Chains A and B, each alone.
Chain A
Amino acid sequence: MIKRQYSGNERRARNYIWNAAGRYDFEPSFLAFSPDGSPDMYYNLVIGLAYKWLDMEAIQEFIKRYSASRSAEEFDDLFWLGLENCVYEKEIGERPVLEKLRREKAEAWFKSSADMSRQQMEMQSMTVYEQQMIRWSEVLGRFCHTGKRSLALAGRLLFSGSLDAEGAVGEMTGILLDFFRTDISRLKEGGERKGILSGLSLPGLPWKAPRQRLFLRTGDGRGDLDTNVRLGHTMNRRVSLPSGPDMDFVRAAFGEPSLPEREMTALEADCCRDLHAACRLHVTDGVRKEQGREAFGELSGILKRAADQEKANRRFVSDNALLIHESIRELSARLDLLFAEYFRRMPERGRSGSLIPEKAYRLKVFRDPSVFLPGRGADRKKRGGHPASGRFHVQNECAGDHSLRGVYHGREPGKDPYPGPGPDLSDDPGHYRSGETQEHSGEELRQDLPVFLRRLEPGRTCLSGAPVSA
């Protein structure tokens, strides 16, 4: 009998899955590994239980439908989070150890996320991160404060144990529509992603299997596979100039330089920087000296080897087109995710609080009163959760704080709202008080809108004053 050969960890992962599924007659499409490469026991059991309890063909068909989306990985992770609860509820009666394993999983998640650097966190979807935090907090009985939207999503991701595959797919379809404005029925069906690397690992979430990794290397290609996933040039310094024999060869092969050396040096200093720091320029009219013939023969050999290499490169690209295409797609998705997270992490807006100047126009143009930031003190309290997440959010808050500080103080024209000691502001077209907490409603602001719209000029922070129409 011919049996497929698996690596040790892959075989362990498959065994977890087969064991949980109670059958060995299928090749799992998903495997779960921890970031250190060892199989993730709990999630592999979840995958196996999904095979046991749900129609995995329907699940895979659904996943395939959004697989072309750039957020496919994010959707995968959320979908598995939903399925986790579903199969947990189905199986817990038959396999009580799941409760303990689930708790261990939750503890391990918090431990790994506490050790995670800011850069690592930014490389993953914050939505997934938040949802995991909510799920595992709940498992451990910890209190986890987060935004209403996240809580609502977390509630929807608690797929009931009474659902079948069709029900789970229906739930996820609704979630994608309600929370991600993604109508699955309108998505162009993507290709089969099976066998393509999903990129960097999220701690303990299922990966596509079998995994492949496209290593982009520098140097001579003999580097260590484990460490050198690295793009770009290894050196940011100028390399030493070619030695005499090299220059002789270049001259002989391509012709004498047509620019004086001083100009060439200036030109190289201007062009050969950063990634091109190791490059040299050679400007020539193509006139070669007689002694170049011999060197030219050598050049022909080089050109032939280069042509062969080009062919080999093209063949490689052609043979690995799917892998390369998917890698580019994954990288693009990661970048999209990164940018999207910055937008998503913008503070929630409300109808009262501190005015967000750059959003003020929405009140006038779109009749959108949500141009205020709710009180930050309360906001910070709301974000409890894990210390790491707290630190992360505080860092973000600090990073974005400068533009948000301050409150708009509406007042009647010519009337100082702060009588008493201090500077007379009655002639001041407006003022901006750092750290004030006085709040105004959208309706109040609407009265004064023309004033501050006028004041919202580049570089200005004063937001109040006489009506424009005056």
Chain B
Amino acid sequence: MAELTELLEKEGVDKGLLAGAAEFRKAYPADPDFADRIPEVSALYYGKTVWEEAVAVLLSGRNLLLAGPKATGKNLLCENLAALFGRPVWNVSFHIGTDAAGLIGTDTFDGEKVSFRKGPVCMSAEKGGFCILDEINMARNESLAVLHAALDHRRIIDVPGYDLIRVDRAARFIATMNYGYAGTRDLNEALSSRFAIITMPQITEENMLRLLRRNFPDISERIAGQFVKLFGELARKAEKSEISDRAVDMRGMLDALDLIRQGLSSGQALELTIVSKTFDRYEQTLIRDCIGSRIPADLDRSVVFAG
């Protein structure tokens, strides 16, 4: 934790906010039974402003909605925030079939009697955890109505036939959404008004460079720079609708570098992790063209990791 705080201080995140987070951790120690749910910081989200906004929102007791296109670091920020506040995480991936039972819980027969088995929303509400509602706009709005009371000032979950669950003071709901994504829909006003919304910006070149350096400390400066530029070019191409945003994949970029380290050539690695993300052959050609005008296909690990 100290390491994360230090990193954020280096990033220039407001010290007052970081102190606030530290006090929060002290005031609401995590349940030791759920300590393994507190995420470790494998990668750091870079972006001072977003950090400050997010920490301020959570400290004020509000819930947070991170909205933005693919590869803007929404999930990474969720995990980083949970780590900073020292909260166990319950993760819910939304889909078209998500219903109230999947969120709140469902009745189950334990061999003797029918009892209520709590879902992730109830668990995080009770245990003071962070509930991450991933791709919240993938679900139908009506199935999300059950969350309204938990998300607003009432902070309760009324399960029919069961006790009223009060949301712990340390519990927060952090939702993510990517508008324009295939299968998504607009979040209705009733739901969106219950969140403070941060529009996630595309990662800057400088921040992506730092991300690569952090993940691959021995990466060649020159090659890292070209990967960063390539990512920007793919993002711009997707923004102009020349390609879909499937190839604008930060994880894919990191995976490509990982595969190069394993021994694949740059061409092979990028083909697997970026080009193949789309199944349209013509789009694949455009992506390959874009990659080819930045990264030679025959780079190997001795060149890429020569730093």
A408 interfacial contact with B, CB 8 Å? no
Chain A: interface secondary structure? helix
- Residues of A whose CB lies within 8 Å of any CB of B are 3, 8, 11-12, 15-16, 18-20, 22, 24, 41, 45, 94-97, 100-101
Q: Is the CB of A20 within 8 A of B293?
A: yes
Q: Which of B233, B236, B241, B289 has the most CB of A within 10 A?
A: B289
Task: Name which residue of chain A comes closest to B233, CB basis.
Answer: A19
Q: Is the CB of B236 within 8 A of A12?
A: no
In B259-307, which residues have CB < 8 Å from any A CB? 282, 285-286, 289-290, 292-296
Q: Is the CB of B242 within 8 A of A96?
A: no
Which chain B positions have C-beta within 8 A of A45?
293
Query: Whole-angstrom distance between the alpha carbons of A20 and B292 in the complex?
Result: 12
- Measured CB to CB, the closest approach of chain B to A34, in angstroms, equals 14
Q: Is the CB of B289 within 8 A of A41?
A: yes
Contacts A8-B282, A15-B237, A22-B236 given; does A97 touch B226 at CB 8 Å: yes
- Measured CB to CB, the closest approach of chain B to A46, in angstroms, equals 11
Contact with A along B111-133 (1 / 0, CB 8 A): 00000000000000000000000
Q: Is the CB of B295 within 8 A of A15?
A: no
B240 interfacial contact with A, CB 8 Å? yes
- Measured CB to CB, the closest approach of chain A to B257, in angstroms, equals 17
Q: Is the CB of A95 within 8 A of B237?
A: no
Pairs across A and B, CB under 8 Å, 26 listed: A3-B241, A8-B282, A11-B242, A11-B286, A12-B289, A15-B237, A15-B242, A15-B286, A15-B290, A16-B289, A18-B240, A19-B289, A19-B290, A19-B293, A22-B233, A22-B236, A41-B292, A94-B229, A95-B226, A95-B229, A95-B293, A96-B222, A97-B292, A97-B293, A97-B294, A100-B296
How many cross-chain pairs have Cβ atoms below 8 Å apart between A and B?
A: 47
Q: Which of A12, A19, A94, A101 has the most CB of B within 10 A?
A: A19
Task: Name which residue of chain A comes closest to B241, CB basis.
Answer: A3
* Known contacts A12-B286, A15-B237, A95-B293; 16 further A-B pairs (Cβ under 8 A): A3-B241, A11-B286, A12-B285, A15-B286, A15-B290, A16-B289, A16-B293, A19-B290, A19-B293, A22-B233, A22-B236, A24-B236, A24-B240, A45-B293, A95-B226, A97-B295
Which chain A positions have C-beta within 8 A of B226?
95-97
* A19 partner, pick from B237, B295, B296, beta carbons under 8 A: B237
Q: Is the CB of A97 within 8 A of B285?
A: no
* B294 partner, pick from A15, A18, A95, beta carbons under 8 A: A95
In B192-229, which residues have CB < 8 Å from any A CB? 222, 226, 229
Which chain A positions have C-beta within 8 A of B242?
11, 15, 18, 24
- Residues of B whose CB lies within 8 Å of any CB of A are 222, 226, 229, 233, 236-237, 240-242, 282, 285-286, 289-290, 292-296
- Measured CB to CB, the closest approach of chain B to A2, in angstroms, equals 12
Q: Is the CB of B286 within 8 A of A41?
A: no
Which chain B positions have C-beta within 8 A of A22?
233, 236
Which chain B positions have C-beta within 8 A of A24?
236, 240, 242
- Measured CB to CB, the closest approach of chain B to A95, in angstroms, equals 7
Task: Name which residue of chain B comes closest to A8, CB basis.
Answer: B282
Query: Whole-angstrom distance between the alpha carbons of A95 and B282 in the complex?
Result: 25
Query: Whole-angstrom distance between the alpha carbons of A101 and B293 in the complex?
Result: 8
Task: Name which residue of chain A comes closest to B288, CB basis.
Answer: A12
Task: Name which residue of chain A comes closest to B243, CB basis.
Answer: A15
Which chain B positions have C-beta within 8 A of A97?
226, 292-296
Query: Whole-angstrom distance between the alpha carbons of A95 and B226 in the complex?
Result: 7
Query: Whole-angstrom distance between the alpha carbons of A95 and B289 in the complex?
Result: 14
- Measured CB to CB, the closest approach of chain B to A92, in angstroms, equals 12
Task: Name which residue of chain B comes closest to A24, CB basis.
Answer: B240
Query: Whole-angstrom distance between the alpha carbons of A100 and B295 in the complex?
Result: 10
Query: Whole-angstrom distance between the alpha carbons of A45 and B233 in the complex?
Result: 14
Task: Name which residue of chain B comes closest to A100, CB basis.
Answer: B296
- Measured CB to CB, the closest approach of chain A to B292, in angstroms, equals 7
Task: Sort A-B residue pairs by CB-CB distance and give the 8 closest, nearest first.
Answer: A24-B240, A100-B296, A97-B296, A15-B286, A19-B233, A19-B290, A45-B293, A15-B242
Which chain A positions have C-beta within 8 A of B294?
95, 97
- Measured CB to CB, the closest approach of chain A to B207, in angstroms, equals 19
Query: Whole-angstrom distance between the alpha carbons of A22 and B234 in the complex?
Result: 11
Which chain B positions have C-beta within 8 A of A94?
229
Which chain A positions have C-beta within 8 A of B286?
11-12, 15
- Measured CB to CB, the closest approach of chain B to A84, in angstroms, equals 15
Query: Whole-angstrom distance between the alpha carbons of A100 and B289 in the complex?
Result: 15
Which chain B positions have C-beta within 8 A of A16?
289, 293
Q: Is the CB of A15 within 8 A of B236?
A: no
Query: Whole-angstrom distance between the alpha carbons of A95 and B227 in the complex?
Result: 11
- Measured CB to CB, the closest approach of chain A to B112, in angstroms, equals 62
Task: Name which residue of chain A comes closest to B295, CB basis.
Answer: A97
Which chain A positions have C-beta within 8 A of B290?
15, 19
Query: Whole-angstrom distance between the alpha carbons of A12 and B292 in the complex?
Result: 13
Task: Name which residue of chain A comes closest to B290, CB basis.
Answer: A19
- Measured CB to CB, the closest approach of chain A to B239, in angstroms, equals 8
Query: Whole-angstrom distance between the alpha carbons of A365 and B282 in the complex?
Result: 68
Task: Name which residue of chain B comes closest to A101, CB basis.
Answer: B293
- Measured CB to CB, the closest approach of chain A to B9, in angstroms, equals 33
Which chain A positions have C-beta within 8 A of B292?
41, 97
Task: Name which residue of chain B comes closest to A95, CB basis.
Answer: B294
Query: Whole-angstrom distance between the alpha carbons of A339 and B241 in the complex?
Result: 49
